[in-house]
Structure 1
Amino acid sequence: MSLPSATSTAPAAAGAPAADAPRPSRRGPVVMTVLTALGLLAFVLLADGGTTTLSLASARDVVALPDLVLPSRGAALVLLVGCAAVAALAWARAVGGRRTPSWVVPVFGALFVLAFLVWVVTGARVSLVSLLGGTLLLGAPLVFGAMAGVVSERAGVVNIAIEGQLLLGAFLGAVVASLSGTAYLGLVAAPVGGVLVGMLLAVFTIRYLVNQIIVGVVLNVLVIGLTSFLYSTVLSDNSGWNSPTGLPALPVPGLSQVPVVGPVLFNQNLLVYLMYVVVAVLHVMLFRSRWGLRLRAVGEHPKAADTVGIPVQRTRFRAVVLGGAIAGLGGASFTLGASAAGLAFNREMTAGSGYIALAAMIFGRWSPLGALGAALLFGFASNLQNVLSVIGTPIPSQFLLMAPYLATIFAVAGLVGRVRGPAAAGTPYEK
């Protein structure tokens, strides 16, 4: 009888990856290296000399900080050296067969975006407080949409219909706020629109086992057509139906006067404060409660969850409806949270925000806190294009309009690397 080979019986070396373990993806390090090289070429070697002025003060600050004046080339070079160091760490981990830490991509993204900001506003003065505050406002619908996707997909249902939920929430929020004369009633009505779309998604995908991707796309088209029809036939002829008042800013006493951080975080409207609460509560409930454990079990292995007595279909149905309510609340950001004066509803005003929210969810690895950071990154890209168009940057306006979508593509297709969502997401369950 032959003896087993030494290679089959010898234990693996300490710290060595298992033979059948998947190799860490090198896509992230490659993209980081390419972006760093392009940044060095454009931001340092080809850039004109000059200074970048960032304003750190606002009208409510207790202590007014002086402007931060930076040499554009020098600051961009220091930031890009930091990008190179992060990319080197990612390469070392990938070559060694070890998983890249979760903080690497956000740190690289922040350093690269700051280098780009320093370069692109050379010779101009930009308010950092306004830039970051606008990021929160524009990122709010993306955050709510990403949270809706996290709840639904953690339960095993792919929610492509976030775009429709945002749009119908914006529509109902604008109409109810206009007719009632108060934005707060519109804020209550907006989640109803998301719930209606979520219930349709749940009925077709959970009850009748229709393909989740197809149903989501169809619901998006349905909501776009319905709101466009109502806009043309009702809202256009009755201006009183589409003139909502916006949510006023509610500064937190004391905290809103802290330099830089205070005006950005604590001088916002109620919708932004609700965003803080939703993200924090959802993260705790999802990973620190029995409800969250059951929800994640249904999304990972529904048959095993059913075996131990967890009602799979009911859990999924409730999760999809809850996600719809969260997304509908985010839709109110387009009409009620845009400014204190409000913003009239318009056709397809969400402009693909639901799909960007899905990308933020994937970039955030199906975690509420991770999705929050990714959504704010995309919100920053959207707000940056507005700021650059105001200061008259030489970058063509078409490229500025492409900025948030380019950021989405680079983040998800390049930097995020190999990720695994809930195992049963997109798979219908039938007893």
Structure 2
Amino acid sequence: MPGTGPMGRCPVARSAPADAAAARVPLHAAAFAADPHGAYGAMRERFGDLAPVELAEGVPATLVLGYETALRILHDAEHFPTDPRPWQDTVPADSPVLPMMRWYPAARYSTGYDHTRYRQASKAAIDGIDGHAMHTVVEELALRLINSFCQAGSAELVADYARPLVSAVLNEIMGCPPEIGAQVTAGMAARFDTVRAAEGMALLQTALTELIELKQAHPGNDATTRLLTHPHQLNETEVLAQLMSFYGAGGEAQFNLITNTVLLMLTDERFGGGLVSGSLSSRDALDEVLFQDPPMANFCTTYPRSPVLTGVTWLPAHQPVLISLAAANTDPTIVRGDRTGNRSHLAWSVGRHACPARTIAYLIVQDAIDQLLDALPDMELAATPADLVWRPGPFHRALTSLPVTFRPSPPVNIS
């Protein structure tokens, strides 16, 4: 593999990045959340394509910063499987990253027949979503939320718009009552933040178990029912694992993508001016965020079966190797000028574990952004970018809040 280090380094590293305890960069620290791209640049300068990091106190890993190296690892399931079980038994049971990384019977943790079985069931559940009907659902839910704050002249878009909108859309897709959905959202947030993660995981599992029992008793035209009734006959534990994947990728990732994209449009003249004049679309802004600040910044974790030489570095067996989707997408060796219309980013991953819900996710997020822009075209950021706070955690890129102001306007009629 071509992952290379800075010039002048010994051609083969004496130890893997995960073993270089003194050099590890703590991805769980507030400083990393505040300026991840500064950290990626410093790591790239010091270590090359592969950097030693710490995901939580005492939990080492390797972070892949290079685009080409990331592609090769993502396409090499033989040497880089995604099953964490040999690793997770070496981690303290109370580690805050364990709820996010431990094995569950879902496609992204599996290979071979199990992977095929889980992915086919999940894809069938997703493919059953009616995209045309979903457009109407998103529009109606978005307008109801916008109407709740449009006369005030200000809003906080994480709590007032993006999070409740995506949660409501997901509840519609999954056939989930709002009260159960609220517990799922809270539990998933704790899992991603790695703050009170064990409590969040318990809340999440309890809520999803309640949803499964509800749909067993009252099946409907929804993704949960399609999982429960798929010909592969997933058991309840397997269905719960697929639901966790759905809510993780469909919830946290989507509302963070909405707010990150809106932030870009409010602060970058290329998109602010371009969107108003019509020269650039919200889809262009969305893809720029998927390049620069994807909501899942460091993910797609693999665990080498045996020590493997990658570029000039030996990666140890059964230790986590995370793809920095954000760093790989902004790798200086592949970034060339204007990327408008370029969708070669890795935000959806690639290979056998690529996101199967990419099309519907694009639809939901773009519709959510377009409804907001149409209703409040003069929206402005109500804080300086430097004052915005990013949530902690090594995996995601997520704002705690996004305050905006705009000219007060009357509610929009909902037909």
Same fold, judged at TM 0.5 (above): no
The TM-score, its normalising length taken from structure 2, stands at 0.29
Q: Which has more strand, going by share of residues? A: 2
- Structure number, greater radius of gyration: 1
